[in-house]
Every structure is written in C-alpha cells, then in structure tokens.
Chain A
Amino acid sequence: MTSRDRGDEPPGARRAGMLWAALAAPGAVWLLVLFVVPFYAVLAIAGGQISPILESIVPEWNPLRWRSSNAVGAWRDVVGSTAFVGPVLVRTVLYVAAASAISLVIAYPVAYFVTRFGGRRKGMFLAMLIAPFWISYMMRMLAWIDLLQTDGYVNRVLMSLHLVNQPVDWLGGQSSTVVLGLVYGYIPYLILVLYSGIDRIDPRLLEAGRDLGLSKWRTFVRVTVPLSRQSIVTGMLITVLPMFGDYFTNQMLSGAAGTSMIGNVIDGQLTTSSLEGQGAVMSLALLAVLLAPMLAYAVSTARASLESA
C-alpha cells in the first residue's frame, strides 16, 4: 500500500510528513532517553569495575573497556561450587511452568463458558472477570495473607472438614502457596485475552463444523481450539513474561529463602552496592533469555496493527 500511496501524494505531503514527525517527536525522544539509554547504562554497569576505595561499582561507558569480572562473578553464582543461583533458576522455571499450566486449565473453561453460554448475563460475567484488574495486586496478595494465617479461614475450613488435623503453616515458605499466589495474581489477564480471542471466532465456522457432522466435542477440538490458538499463545506470553520478573509474590506469601526466584536475586543485588554489577549481568541475562518470546510478540503485534491499518 505504501508504494501506491507514494504515487498519489499531494504536493503538501512533505510538509504533512513534518507535522506527523513533530507530533511523534516528543514521545519518540522520551522513549530514546528513558527506554533505550537505560539499557546502555545497564551494560555500562555490567562492564564496570568495583572501585576499591568506594567499594561500589564504577560504570564503564566505553564499550572497548568493558570488563568481564561481573559476568564471571555472576556465572560463578550460577554454576560454581558456591553456586546459589542455579537452584533458584530451576525453581523459577518450575514455579512459572506450574503456575501458567494451572492458570490455563482454569482460564480456558471460564473464558469459553462466558463467551459461549454467557447469554444475557455476559455483561455481568465480564464485569466480574474484569474486577480483579481494578484491584491492586498488593491488596489481592494481602487478602490471601489474611486468609492463610494459622488461625485464618483456610485452616479453619480445612480443619472443620477434617482434611487436616493441625493448622498448616501456609505462609512459612510453602511452594504450593507461592504457585497459587502466582496463579491468583496473573490469571485475570489470561482470562481477558482468551475471552476476547474466543469471542472473535466467527460462529458460522462452528455451525459449519456441526453441519459437516462433527460432534459438539469434535467441533470444539477441531474448530474452536485451533482458532483460539493465537490468543492462548498471547495470553501465556503476557502472563509468563512478568512472572519471570516477579519478586514480590513470593516475598509476601512466604519470604523464605527456599521459595526465592530469579527476581529476588536481582532485586537483592541492587541493594548491595558491590553486587550491583552482578545484578546488571543477571538482569541482562534474563532479558536475553526472554528476548525471543518478547520479539515474537512485538513483531506479531506490529504486523497486526499494520494489517488493520
């Protein structure tokens, strides 16, 4: 479409181009200064050295003089004999995998029910699905802290049902609590993405499936699921990516070292000035690992916005 547009451009187009550039410029400059430059600062810190006098990192702005000492230090933390990050990495992956799998198993039926069977109650269901979006994450975690106390409602219900004999110490460093906390925290966003994905499926396609003799179940498996695959992928991405950077859910619901994730390691290194360099390396490494899914998401979104334009 661009080439055809170029040919039809009226004489004032050049000036118009200036207007558009001028409108975009403040935001664009803002992004350059406060989104691109910060990552250069991370590189400079990661390549910097600890000053023996100040005992803190001196950033190195010249890429030719970047040192590897922080990277080596970080690598030793991951694999060396005193490695403490290795198990944390494994735990992070396991927690995120478990939390996102549980989320999908809950979210898909809910989103599917509301779109297909919501009927007149669809607006009401939608409002209730959206409600958590408007409730602060911290409050939602706080609510569970109340419930999971030793004398809290969860233990009382479990004990009155004789499922447990003594109150369970839910907040004392349980992996299950942290995983459920992650599910609780991030699932609303997954549901909303799945909802809008399933809602956009043309009902005539389902009809065609039924007309061609597929059972209800087969129609679901052969038509609905493939057509909502894109929203499943997007929904998983927008919940999994922030989970990898999460350091507050487990801090609030457990606080024990035995449930810490990679985010806690990075956050902790920022508070010790001699470890800032390693924190920078870790954060760059995390970015590198997550870069592929992030790029995939950005490319498909940018393409979708071009197509609809």
Chain B
Amino acid sequence: MQFRPGAVTPGSGTGLESSASRRRLAALRSPWRHAWILEGVTWVYLAWSILPIGLAVLFSFNRGKSQSTWQGFSLRWYTSDPLNSVLHDPQLHAAVVQTLRLSLLTTVITVPLGVGFAIGIDRWRGRAASAFNFLMIFSFVIPELIFGVALFFVFTALLTSVHLGTAAEVLGLVTWNLSWPAIIVRARLVSIGHQYEEAAADLGASRLEAVRRVLLPMLMPAVFASAVLVFAGVVDDFVIVDLLSSTANTQPMSVIIYSNTHGGNGGPALNALATLMLVASFAVAALGYAGYRWMTRGERSGRQHALASITGM
C-alpha cells in the first residue's frame, strides 16, 4: 500500500553475497553455537505475522457466522448464502469488479508513462531532469493521506468536471504508483549502462531504433516487475480510493472491508472477500515470480533476486 521500500537503494536487489564469501562467513561463526535465541525470535515473529491470516482464511469457510468457533466447512460466504455471500451481496460483488477494474486501468496507464519517464530522465541529463526526478521521489515518500487530501480538493474544487468516482480514483492511483516503474526501470537502466545503445548506434541504428530494439527488450524484466507491483499495489490501496470514491459502486474491496468493520464488527462474508483479495494478490505474485524468472533465464540471477524484484526491494 503506501510504503514502498523499493526506493531505498536504486540498483540494489542483487545484494546477495557470493558463495565464496558466504562460506567464509560460515567458518567465521562458531560451528557449535547456533544463534538459537535469534532463531526463536524469528520464528515467533513469523508465526505472529502469518497465523492470524491463516485463521482468517480458515474462518471464511466456516459454516456458521462465528469467527472464533469452527462449525464445519462450507462455501456459504462465497457462493451459497442467498443474501450475504460475496456472489449474492451486490455491494461485495461490485467491490470485486471495481478492484479489478481499477487495477487493470491503472496498470495499463502507469507502466508506459513510468517507463518513458525513467528512460527520458536517466538519459536526458540536466536541471529539468533532476528536478523531475526529485519530484518523482518526493511523490514516493509523501504520506498517502496528505496526497489524497490534495487530490480530493483538486477534484472537488478545481477539476470539477472529473467527479469523484472511478475516473478520479484512476487518476489518483496512476500518480501515486508512477514512481514504481520509474524507480525500478531506472535501476535496471543504470545497471545496463550505455554500451549496448552505443553498439547499436555504431551499427547504424537511430536513437529511437536503439531504444525500441535494444533497450526496451533488455528492460522487459523491470517493466514486467513494475507492472506486477502496480497491479498488486492498486489491489491493496486504501487511502486514495477511500477519499476519491463516491457511491458504493465505485468502492473497491479494501474500502468495503474498512467501512463494514468500523469498531470491530467483521462478518464472515468480509473474510471471504478478504480471502479473494489475498488469492488475487498471490496469483499476481506467483505469475510475476514465474514471469520474471522466465524473462531473466539467461542471466545469472537466482530465485531470491526474482522474489526481491517483484517485491520492489
């Protein structure tokens, strides 16, 4: 959602040490003393971080209304309940559709915009380029609420022809996510260097051809990774869509979950909705991971690198 560790270190992501130095490091530790306390802390943290989610998923399949007593497996809250299941409750149903619509629209607009921006800013040196780069990074760290408030005022007081709703949400989400492709593609540009373009130019390609036929294919893994991140980021986004949605029809899943749980009143159908959201995100992540591995198959980068890349690390 609104915090994005990716900008921390442009060009990182391959911060994995070589096997030789890892071996040296292993020898460094006393072999008879494993860090049991640290390992304990890590497992307790992981259990604390993952078990609640597992239980929430489990209880979305509960036959009864309770979220703390297991009453048997059913798909009641997904499909069979005639009133309150995700399938039959028009509000929940519309939320799923709206989330998918926002994610697709935002990804399709953001990625080309950000990729062009990254290439342009990286190769076109000068004051204007660094000013825009700075602006982009600034848009990356600003708390989402402050930005969301600013957009809210733009659409209610200045660009009033854009009403609050899907159009405003997409415009806001594109702006908020533009830095993903910009930062990730730029990091890859830096690691590629200039030599391939120069070689292409020596062989008679024009600049534009060099970009299109040499640079872009080499950038594809980064472009792909940023598309995955933007899509998943929009699925998860809350603040912007909360402030810029208007009627129930334009509220995506995250807003529906939020507005139905004020003050701690969940409902099993919300668990089902959240589980669907989880499945959507994990599907995108798995697809992203597999796609990234496939695209970088000729390169010497491991699984951890692929995992880190699609997370924007």
A interface list, Cβ under 8 A from B: 2, 5, 12, 15-17, 19-28, 30-31, 34-39, 41-42, 44-45, 57, 59, 106, 109-110, 112-114, 116-117, 119, 122-123, 125-149, 151-153, 156, 171-172, 184, 186-189, 192-193, 195-197, 199-200, 202-204, 206-207, 210, 216, 231, 234-235, 237-239, 241-242, 244-248, 251-256, 263, 266-267, 270, 276, 279-280, 283, 286-287, 290, 294-295, 297-299, 301-302, 304-306, 308-309
Nearest B residue to A133, CB-CB: B311
Of A42, A134, A143, which one neighbours B149 at CB under 8 angstroms? A42
CA distance A119 to B304 in the complex (A): 13
Nearest B residue to A141, CB-CB: B261
B144 & A301 in contact (Cβ 8 Å cutoff):
no
Of B50, B67, B140, which one neighbours A146 at CB under 8 angstroms? B67
CA distance A266 to B313 in the complex (A): 31
Q: A136-B277, A146-B266, A153-B55 are in contact. Are A117 and B38 (CB under 8 A)?
A: yes
Size range of the chain B interface in the assembly: 35 or more
Cβ contacts under 8 Å, B128 to chain A: 21
A35 & B139 in contact (Cβ 8 Å cutoff):
yes
B243 within 8 A of A: yes
A188 & B21 in contact (Cβ 8 Å cutoff):
no
Of B116, B141, B232, which one neighbours A241 at CB under 8 angstroms? B141
Interface residues of B in 13-42 (CB under 8 A from A): 13, 15-17, 21-22, 24-26, 28-30, 34-35, 38-39, 41-42
Of A113, A187, A294, which one neighbours B141 at CB under 8 angstroms? A294
Main SS class of interface, A: helix
CA distance A239 to B56 in the complex (A): 25
CB distance from B89 to the nearest CB of A (A): 16
Q: A34-B171, A242-B2, A309-B122 are in contact. Are A280 and B12 (CB under 8 A)?
A: no
CA distance A267 to B152 in the complex (A): 11
Nearest B residue to A61, CB-CB: B158
Nearest B residue to A244, CB-CB: B143
CA distance A42 to B150 in the complex (A): 6
B239 & A245 in contact (Cβ 8 Å cutoff):
yes
| Contact stretch, chosen from B3-11, B77-85, B217-225, B290-298 | B3-11
Cβ contacts under 8 Å, A231 to chain B: 8
Q: A142-B271, A255-B262 are in contact. Are A59 and B158 (CB under 8 A)?
A: yes
B73 within 8 A of A: no
28 A-B residue pairs with CB within 8 Å: A23-B119, A31-B178, A34-B151, A112-B38, A114-B42, A116-B35, A136-B1, A137-B254, A142-B270, A142-B271, A153-B55, A153-B68, A184-B48, A189-B5, A199-B16, A199-B17, A203-B22, A235-B5, A241-B3, A241-B142, A245-B144, A247-B145, A279-B149, A283-B150, A297-B141, A301-B10, A302-B137, A305-B190
B146 & A245 in contact (Cβ 8 Å cutoff):
yes
B134 & A298 in contact (Cβ 8 Å cutoff):
yes
